Amino acid sequence: MSFQINKLYYGDYGESKNGAADISTQQTNKAEWPLWEVFIRSKQGLDHKHVGSLHASDAAMAIENARDVYTRRMEGVSIWVVESKHIHASNPDEAEALYDPANDKAYRHPTFYDLPDEVKYM
């Protein structure tokens, strides 16, 4: 299949203008600061939620940068950072095998049970 994208986006002038064919994606530069994933608690009582990533030389700098990049408008009261290489993720290709068994266990949900209408507050 071969085609060229001719719809252009903000700041994007098409493949012919930058040779997207040679976009290579091997990591080559060892001097690059490591990548960190950022999690933010938006307010007291809520869970930390993933918001994105950034580069920093160490954890302290990652937290400082996360404050500037992700909380300029009081979006958070607490920040977690984890170096991206330490994140282990489930494999999306196995999603079916992983979550399917939950599908046929409807009895785990309260609506599965037929009770007489007279029963209140349950």
Contacts with another protein, residue ranges (CB under 8 A): 1, 3-13, 15, 17-21, 23-25, 27-29, 31-33, 35, 52-55, 57-58, 61, 68-70, 72-73, 89, 91-93
Cβ atoms 53, 86 nearer than 8 A: no
Cβ at position 79, least distance to another protein in Å: 15
Q: Quick check: 14 and 5 in contact, CB under 8 A?
A: yes
Nearer to another protein by Cβ, of 24 and 111: the residue is 24
Write down the least CB distance from residue 89 to another protein, Å.
7
Q: Which is nearer to another protein, 18 or 78 (CB)?
A: 18
Nearer to another protein, 88 or 120 (CB): 88
